[in-house]
Structure 1
């Protein structure tokens, strides 16, 4: 089966259409023609179909849940750049390396849903420049370069979401504080004095029980091209606005293929669930302190979705170093590599030394 090609020619002039976040339509930058997208109810009004996790792990998904896609690894950073429509060459959004499509295709799990871009490139750039400007020691040259540099790349980043019902049996202990008064000897002005002080102690009682929780849409980044600390910091995402997957939303944008497998994504989701289950157990144990010796969790009703989330990305090479910044395409929240100006740091250190020296001088001569 060959990869399905999606093309978006303008009905008026033949140029390529692109999805316009500000208008919510397909738009031609050449002649201004617009084409409406079919109405699709958001996830909060029409729940999206979840896929059975174990069917997928056993390669038991229906053919309709899979697709053939054209994916080429970036020769520099290894990102899986996905080509759709008539595009055959582009620039890697992660490291700005030119990438051309190969001849092969891959069979992948089809996205069930996506969050359309809600802010346009201009707004994304404004938010990024504002964020850079608020960093005290950012080089002025980089801030100016970002303001006037090339356009940000609009990228749909792959994520997994996981659902599960859990029931956990635990054993541990509950600690309850109590206080005793004791006499201590302290030294005051060279003399020994006795004083009374209260000392906190803890009584421990064995504890065991069960906790249950239903997890919904545990979000796991399915890409290794962006540091997870960046994408985690872009949260929260309003997943109630997820829209059933429609390739028209990708017109004019780049999509990345997932590089975190479904099984690895499940393992990460279970780590996230385990942290919440531990908090549930400690709340169930109660007391002033808790000791958790063991938690055994049974998982059931495990399902997943493959979704795409919108990110504006910039990769700038400045003074021989590449800086990457990401902007949440739904909310405008920014994260990235923190740039440092050696001159600004040196000036701040010098200024601090001058201020401290001045204070010492006046104190000594007061």
Structure 2
């Protein structure tokens, strides 16, 4: 087997990918390497072993699968059943879904090796700063929501996604109305004309995302979009160093229904948007066909924070590339009562000063 990508070139220690510098650093010898450094080192090491033949590509693919099988470690939470993936140098201390500390390691199969990945652009420190800033504008949160002990549970996770490409063609048919009102003498008239309308067209969709995790909230993942797919790069285990990665439990066929509905709806909206000049339009029939559908398995970066409050788990998520934030946040009843009490007192004072307060 070739050189493992995420081992230090100088001392052999584990490398950790740093989102702020987009480089890999070694905590043992303090060396820092660019992606080009790592790739050049690997290429030089493999130069004597690889033959320039048509079999070389297949051999390299087998090596990558072997590396993934041997170095990717899976963890299954015994409490909620979540399955995550990381490299063999990362120690999991809790489940980022339910905070359960009992995690069982096992090996993975090569089919779960992604094709592409968008590396984290936002490091942990920046993610914490953005999260705290976001929470400051929400006075009803529990007092200790952003305490240091809670922020320690902020986890960098590569979430499994399927990116779909598709050719679409379709037609919409309906009825349009043009309404005109006019007055003659003392009589006001309303004239309504009806038209049959039809639009037909084609569109190509690229990189339409659908998360491949049953436990991930689809709506939450949708809110975090869009990602800049220009940053997609070939998957390497080195990007997992210092992060988690969830294993997909819905394949491309499982999420195709969601994608198909989305593409059909979008093309229908595009075609309907070309109908102008009428008072109103009612679409009676939409027929959209998909062809040349292709999907690729990728990992996208997400910072996740889960918080348990009064027996319920709340999830906060941040796009690890753009910093976009979404979440379902808890409300402290005590702070809410105090806050609304302050508002009531302010209103009471305003009414009293204005002479509107009545006994």
Confirm whether residue 156 of structure 1 aligns to residue 158 of structure 2.
yes
CA distance in 2, matches of 1:15, 1:149: 28
Matched, 1:231 2:231: no
* TM-score (normalised: structure 1): 0.78
- Relative to the length of structure 2, the TM-score reads 0.79
Distance in 2, matches of 1:320 and 1:292, equals 46
- Aligned equivalent of 2:248: 258
SS of the residue 1:284 aligns to = coil
Residue from 321, 337, 345 that aligns with 1:330 = 321
Deviation, structure 1 residue 256: 0.6
Deviations 1:256-293 (A, max 9, x none): 11122211222111121122112122123332322111
Once the two structures are superposed, what CA deviation does each residue of 1:105-126 show, in whole Å capped at 9, x if it has no partner? Answer: 3352532211111111100111
Within the alignment, does 1:92 sit opposite 2:95 as a pair? yes
Q: Which is strand-richer, 1 or 2?
A: 1
- Is contact 1:121–1:151 with CA below 8 Å preserved after alignment? no
1:230-262: per-residue Cα shift (whole Å, max 9, x none)? 222222211111112222111221111112221
Q: Is residue 174 of structure 1 aligned with residue 176 of structure 2?
A: yes
Alpha-carbon distance between aligned partners in 2 of 1:224 and 1:277, rounded to the nearest angstrom: 27
Paired position in structure 1 for 2:291: 300
Q: Distance in 2 between matches of 1:123 and 1:158?
A: 23
- Choose the corresponding residue for 1:270, options 248, 257, 260: 260
Residues 199 and 356 (structure 1 numbering): CA distance in 2 closer, same or farther, change over 3 Å?
farther
Q: Is the 8 A contact 2:86 2:241 kept in 1?
A: no
Q: Deviations over 1:42-83 (max 9, x none)?
A: xxxxxxxxxxxxxxxxxxxxx879775654432222222124
CA contact (8 A) 2:77 2:104 kept: no
Structure-1 separation of matches of 2:110 and 2:226: 31
CA deviation after TM superposition for structure 1 residue 94, in Å: 2.3
Of the three residues 203, 208, 227, the one matched with 1:218 is: 208
Tell me if the contact between 2:19 and 2:120 (Cα under 8 Å) persists in the aligned partners: yes
* Correspondence for 1:79 among 70, 82, 92: 82
Give, in angstroms, the shift of residue 21 of structure 1. 1.4
More helix by percentage: 2
Correspondence for 1:349: 340
Following the alignment from structure 2 to structure 1, what is the Cα–Cα distance between the partners of residues 229 and 196? Answer: 41
Which has the larger displacement, 249-258 or 20-29? 20-29
Give the conservation status (yes or no) of the 8 Å contact 1:94–1:315: yes
Q: State how far apart, in whole Å, the 1-side matches of 2:338 and 2:246 are.
A: 42
Q: CA deviation at 1:298?
A: 1.9
Q: Which moved more, 1:296-305 or 1:310-319?
A: 310-319
Give how far 1:309 is off: 0.6
* Native 8 Å contact 1:5 1:86 kept in 2: no
Structure 1's unaligned 5+ residue stretches are 42-62, 184-195
- Does the CA contact (< 8 Å) of 1:172 and 1:293 recur in 2? yes
Give the CA RMSD over aligned residues. 3.4
Q: Distance in 1 between matches of 2:344 and 2:183?
A: 48
1:319 Cα deviation after fit? 5.9
Residue correspondence of structure 1 range 312-331 to structure 2 within 5 A: 312-318=303-309, 321-331=312-322
Change (3 A) 1:245 1:158: same
Q: Deviations over 1:312-333 (max 9, x none)?
A: 1222345655432212111222
Aligned equivalents of 2:18 and 2:176: distance in 1? 57
